[in-house]
Structure 1
Amino acid sequence: MTLITPTQPNAQASTPTGNANAPKKTGLASDFETFLKMLTVQAQNQDPLKPLDASEYASQLAQFSMVEQQVQTNDLLATLGQALGGANLDKLGKWIGMDVRAPSAFQYEGEPVTLFATPAPEADKAALVIRDGEGAVVDRISVSTTDQSIVWAGQRSDGQPLAAGTYSATLESYDGDALLSTQQAEVYDEVVEAQVVDNQVMLTLESGQVVTATTVTGVRAGT
C-alpha cells in the first residue's frame, strides 16, 4: 500500500517547525514522533469521502518499519565493509618495501645474483640452467647436490659477460642421465606493490615480476 498524495495544499499543517540547528535524522522514520507527524499530515489531507481505515494505517506503519530496517542494515554492512577493507589494506601495506624470496624471473644488472633451489634428495648430480627474457638458454652450470643457494656471476658458458636484463633460472636434478625434476630457482626481490586479486594477495616486485604471497618462502627487511 502506497502513501496517499495530498489532494489539497495545507502549508500550516504540512510544514513542521523546528530548530534549524537541530541534528539531521538519518532514518526514514527515525523516531515515533516523526511517524506521528507524517500520519497527522496524511489524515488532514485525505479525501473525506474515502478515508483510510485502521488496517491501511497499520500497513503503512509496517512499510515504514521495513524501510528503516533496510536502511540500518545497509549502514551496518557499509561500516563492516570499511572495517574489513581497512584491515586488508593494513595487511597489504606490511609487504611494501620488504624483500621476499619466491620462484620468479629476476633482473640482472651486472652484479652477481644469489639463487635458491634444492636438488631432489635422490639426485646424484644437478645443473642450473639460465635463460634470458626470450627463453633462450644462455648458461648451464653444474652444481652440488647439497647446496641450496648458488651465486650466478652473470656470464655465458664461454665466460663472456651477459648484458643487463631479465633472466630466469631452473634447477635440473638427475639420477645418472635420467632427469628427476626441474625446479624454478627462487630469488630475493623488493615488493613495490601489493593488491588482492580473486581473493589472493599479489605482490609486484621491483623487477616487474608478479608473484602470489603463497609462493613466498622467505622475507627479510628491504635493503
Structure 2
Amino acid sequence: MVDAVTTSTAASRTATGSATLASNFETFLTLLTTQLRNQDPLSPLDSNEFTAQLTQMAGVEQQLLTNDLLTSLLAAQSAGGLDNASNYIGKEVTAAWSATSLEDGKATWTYELGATASEVKLQVLNGSGTVVWEGSAPETGIGLHDFTWNGQMTGGDTAEDGGVYTLRVSATNANGGKIDSQTLIRGRVTGVEMYDGAPYLVIGDSILPLSTVISLNEIREQADNDDAENPPVPTEEAAA
C-alpha cells in the first residue's frame, strides 16, 4: 500500500529534515574549528582537504536554504488548497469513498459492478468495523447502482442518526468467481473543508478527501421558462 502524502505530512518531513541538517551543520562547524585549533603547526591541514571541507559545509548550508524554500512553497500550496477545492462547489462528482453518515433514518451509497453478477452481497459496517447489516443487493447488472440503507440492523435494533457507516460490496459470477466491484459516493458538492492540510468535499451526508474524486460533471439547470415541451403562454400585453 502506498500512503498519500498531504501538504501537512510533507511539511512535517521537511521540517524534520531541516532540523537534522541544522544539527549536522553545527556539529560539522564544531569539529572543523576544533581540528584547526588543535592542528600540528609542523604539519598543518592540507589546503586541498580544507577546501573540500569548506565545500561540504557550503553544501549543507545550501540544503538548509532549500528546505526553507520548500517549507514556504508547501505552506503556500496548503493555503491555496481551499480556494482550489471551492471550484467543485455546485458540481456533480463521483468519488471512490465508502463512508457516509446516517441522517433522517437513511444512508445512501452507489456500488459499481465490473460485470453482471450472479450474486451481490452488501454489508454495512459501523465506525468500529463491525457488520451491523448484510443482505443481497437490489441490482446485479453491470454498472452503477444506488443503495439506501434504512438504519435497520440485523439484530432488529435501529441505528441512531449521526453515526458514520461504510458499505462493503462483494460480487460473484455463476461459477463462483469474483467480480470487480467498488463502493462510491455520488452527489452535488455543497461545501469544502480543510483537515490536516488537505481539502475535503461535502457531498450530502459525506465528507471525503478531494483526492478520492474520480469523476466531475457540471450541473446545468434549465431556466423556469426554458421548457421546449411546455413553452410559456404569451400574455395579451406581449401579444399586443
What band does the TM-score fall into relative to the shorter chain?
A: 0.3 to 0.5
Q: Taking structure 2 as the reference length, what is the TM-score of the superposition? A: 0.44
Q: Taking structure 1 as the reference length, what is the TM-score of the superposition? A: 0.47
Largest Rg, 1 or 2: 1
More helix by share: 2
